[in-house]
């Protein structure tokens, strides 16, 4: 019963982190802006870092099961 929330959180974090990295990569490949009104290097760095952090949180949640 206690592993249910960990599975849900791990799935949510992993899916969001993976989708964010995939979306950021697609935007960079097409040379499209990741965030409007922000320097490209800063927005790419922040989006990539956020995606990696969410993936790491998802792996950590799955490790707690």
17-56 per-position pLDDT tens digit: 999 999 999 999 999 999 999 999 999 999 999 999 999 9
Burial 18-55 (b: 16+ CB within 10 A, else e): eebbeebeebbeeeeebeeeeeeeebbeebbeebeebb
Can you give the pLDDT at residue 49? Answer: 97
- Total domains in the fold of the chain: 1
Q: What is the pTM of this model?
A: 0.86
Range of the domain at 23: 3-63
As a whole number of angstroms, the distance between CA 61 and CA 21 comes to: 19
Phi, psi for residue 38 in degrees, rounded to 5: -125, 150
Phi, psi for residue 42 in degrees, rounded to 5: -70, -45
- Please check the confidence at residue 1 and state whether its pLDDT lies above 70: no
Q: Collapsing DSSP states into helix, strand and coil, what is residue 1?
A: coil
């Amino acid at each position: 019963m206690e592993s249910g929330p960990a599975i849900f959180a791990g799935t949510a974090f992993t899916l969001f982190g993976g989708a964010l990295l995939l979306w950021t990569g697609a935007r960079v490949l097409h040379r499209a802006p990741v965030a409007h009104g922000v320097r490209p290097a800063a927005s790419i760095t922040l989006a990539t870092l956020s995606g990696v952090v969410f993936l790491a949180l998802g792996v950590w949640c799955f490790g707690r099961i």
